[in-house]
Structure 1
Amino acid sequence: MKVAVFSDIQANLPALEETIEQIERWRPDLVVMAGDLVNRGPDSGGCLRRFDEMRRDRGWLPVNGNHEEWVLASEHRSVETPGERALWGFTQWAWSQCAADAERLRGWADHLTFHPPESDAWVHVTHGTMAGNRDGITPGRSDESLVGALPEDIALFIAGHTHRPHQRRTQCMLVVNVGSAGSPFDGDPRGSFGRFVWQHGRWQAEIRRFDYDRDQARRDFLNSGFLDQSPLARIVYHEWERAELLIAGWRERYQQAVLAGELDAERSVRDYLQGLGLE
């Protein structure tokens, strides 16, 4: 049995197209998209429609991510203050791209489990962990902190969310984070996905890195209107360009003051990026 799992496209259509090409060439028996197909990028609508084609034509399966939840919540979210508009601006924009096809985004499972036909070596796929889809597994996270965050009686646990590919053995199972196909945070701008093979009575895992048309992705970021939706969109763009998590630092230093109306969002982003030498 051959299984491909990818995650965190983040509305990057050129990365999704290459992911599809890579996976189709390998010809797996099952393909799972482990969440965050949309948001934080220029083409949520295009990614949703393209993935839905693979879902209908090839039987690809989706798992819900935190960004799917946030985009769907935008249908009814009240965004009133300048701080709220700064925080949710590009997510509201992602909803506007997906609204006409929203039914394709609803009802995705939070967890998916399966096993090889001839074995009970169960596989569990989710976006984060059992503690929630924002609870991520990074290379630096300790095995002790994963106690209670992983399911029992599983041979293979597969997740995404952190945008950092990683694998280890703990709690009698293989744990694999497939990283991000569209916006890695490990310093390597190439996309990644996981290839899993049931062979000789065990699961074997391989994380594949791949190049895609980043020039087109850059044009999409710059020309789509994404960067006009919120000052924070510029941080997201630099994250994509540098393959590095940046917005967490802004949140820690500025978010509370921006939401409270004590600091202008544009100024906070400008000061933050200037401090990083990016503007």
Structure 2
Amino acid sequence: MVRLAIIADVHGNKPALDAVLADVRLVGADRLIVNGDVVNRGPDGVAVMEDLLAQGAQFTLGNHDALMNLWHDRDPEIPTEWFHDPFFASFSWCANELSRAGLLQEFTRWPMTLRVDVPGAPSVVVAHGTPDHYREGIGRRMSEARMGQLLDESAADVLVGSHTHVPGEWRLGSKLLINTGAVGAPFNRDARAQYLLLRLQGDCWQPEIRFVPYDLSAVLRNYEESGLLSHGGLSAHIFREELPAAYPIYARFWEWVEGENRAKDWNAWREFERIVLPQYGLTPVG
């Protein structure tokens, strides 16, 4: 029986990755595919890159992987003022760590889309978001018409995406779309590390989303011990808050400050923390 382990959205969370790789070995996966967003947000980007490269994994490019080179190179695609905004200091910290380790070049080698060919098996196409764009996520907000279009254009029997940090499965006739969920920062209110295992049974792929407990306190400490929390500004603090909540706090904060026409600063965060977070049933980590 062929087994494919497809992991994504590690986001520099080494304790979560360690637990998932142990589970991948436990289930006897034949191939490991890393579907983008290995780095940024979390404190252990260099370590997780080194670990995954040593595994001989296949990679696709995620938007956060690409962002690290764009940020490091001060690419005009990014608003100039962001490079000087303390809110985004975590991006600079992560990009600088990867640059010092000589790892930024790795991302330039990763394809946007990967086709998995297994003799006698239905075709599997893997992309961080979709084959059209790494920021387009497969999920409940995507229309059935769009799902069908993606399946047709990619000529996939099974289309695998990530990016949203929320796992899921959608069937269209005999074809299947799957979201892997996230290893390092799930957004489905379940803080366990999550990934996709595909088992070939006969001539069909059988999907399973694996939920893997890990030492959350270890990665929370790593934010402090690595220097990311002290040098990464408000965004680093929010990324850390997201892990135990397993909820997209960064996105909700961004939406709130834009709606209130507020700066993305600590004063706005304290108000958001006091007024808005409880509306989502969330309590700050501190």
Scaled by the length of structure 2, the TM-score of the pair is 0.87
User: What residue in structure 2 maps to residue 90 of structure 1?
Assistant: 90
Any idea what SS the aligned residue of 2:74 has? coil
Change (3 A) 1:118 1:149: closer
Structure 1 counterpart of 2:253: 250
Runs of at least 5 residues in structure 1 that lack an aligned partner in the other structure? none
* 1:211 aligned partner, one-letter code: P
Query: Matched residues in 2 for 1:207 and 1:10: separation?
Result: 19
Q: Would the aligned equivalents of 1:155 and 1:203 in 2 still touch at CA under 8 Å? A: no
CA distances 1:150-200 after superposition (whole Å, capped 9, x unpaired):
434311111111111111102641111110011110001001111111112
Cα RMSD, aligned residues only: 2.2
1:69 alignment partner in structure 2: 66
Preserved CA contact (<8 Å) 1:85 1:230: no
CA distance in 2, matches of 1:204, 1:33: 19
Alpha-carbon displacement from aligned partner over 1:71-106 (angstroms, at most 9, x marks no partner): 111221178647852343211111111112223333
Q: Report the counterpart of residue 163 of structure 1 in structure 2.
A: 165
Amino acid at match of 1:225: G
**1:43 — aligned with what?**
44
With over 3 angstroms needed to count, the CA separation of the structure-2 counterparts of 1:178 and 1:92, relative to structure 1, is same
Q: 2: CA distance between counterparts of 1:12 and 1:222?
A: 13
Distance of 2:3 and 2:264 partners within structure 1 = 51
CA contact (8 A) 2:147 2:177 kept: no
Tell me, yes or no, if the aligned pair for 2:181 and 2:195 is still in contact at 8 Å: yes
Q: How far apart in 1 are the matches of 2:35 and 2:116? A: 14
Shift of 1:140: 4.4
Q: 2:117 corresponds to which letter in structure 1?
A: H
Is the 1:9–1:15 Cα contact (8 Å) retained in structure 2? yes
Kindly provide the amino acid, as one letter, of the partner of residue 175 in structure 2: M
Report the count of equivalent residues. 271
The reply to whether residue 231 of structure 1 matches residue 234 of structure 2 is yes
1:28: which partner in 2? Answer: 29
Partners of 1:205 and 1:82 in 2: how far apart?
A: 40
- The structure 1 residue matched to 2:177, chosen from 175, 178, 188, is 175
Matches of 1:223 and 1:101 in 2, distance apart? 21
Looking at structure 2, the residues matched to 141 and 155 of structure 1 have their Cα atoms a distance apart, in angstroms, of: 18
Give the superposition deviation at 1:67: 0.3
Q: C-alpha distance in 2, partners of 1:176/1:185? A: 16
Post-superposition shift, 1:223? 2.6
Q: Which amino acid aligns with 2:272?
A: Y
Query: Could you say which residue in structure 1 is the equivalent of 2:112?
Result: 110
Counterpart-to-counterpart distance in 1, 2:179 and 2:192: 15
Partner of 2:268, secondary structure, is helix
Which residue of 187, 200, 204 maps to 2:206?
204
Partner of 1:231, secondary structure, is: helix
Q: d(CA) in 2 for partners of 1:256 and 1:222?
A: 31
What corresponds to 2:281 in structure 1? none
Contact persistence 1:163–1:183 (CA under 8 A): yes
* Cα distance in 2, alignment partners of residues 125 and 91 from structure 1: 26
State the TM-score, normalizing by the size of structure 1: 0.89
- Say whether the 8 Å CA contact 1:164–1:179 is kept in structure 2: yes
Alignment identity in percent? 24
Whether contact under 8 Å (1:185, 1:243) holds in the other structure is: yes
Matched to 1:63, the amino acid is T
Amino acid at match of 2:36: G
SS in 1 for 2:197: strand
8 Å contact kept, 2:9–2:184 = yes
DSSP 3-state at the match of 1:215: helix
